[in-house]
Amino acid sequence: MYSDTVIDHFKNPRNVGELEDPDGVGEVGNPVCGDMVRITIKVEGDRLAEVRFKTFGCGAAVASGSMGTEMAKGKTLEEAYSITNRDVAEALGGLPPEKMHCSNLAADGIRAAIDDYRARRGGSPSAGKEVG
């Protein structure tokens, strides 16, 4: 049902917690299942120097938060903003169809944190980007 990568990221999640005095915060939830994630970021230059997550959700949501933050860390804001739920699911080795919505949490949370960072700096939140 779950790949070894999903199980590893669930049992040994990376980047768990919350950054003190973050540069951006993204909180998103999924109305289908009630899962929620909070992503906090630190930005240095144009890169995500640190990314942390806290989640209230199932194993797939935990694994997605772990993988999504690993994928985003060190990336430029634009590179991190372009991470999609499909990217997260593929990096995890796939998710069962009924759990694909969990991968949205990480990708959406990262974009929300970047939007918050940009808004705090007086910029346009999504910088006009459409993400699929």
Q: Which residues are designated catalytic?
A: 33, 102
**Angle, CA 104 vertex, CA 100 and CA 109 arms, to 5°:** 155
Q: How far apart are the first and last CA of the chain?
A: 26
Hey, what are 121's tokens? 């700096």
Q: DSSP class of residue 16?
A: B
Token digits of residue 57: 């959700």
Please, which residues have CB within 8 angstroms of residue 45's CB and are 6 or more apart in sequence? Answer: none
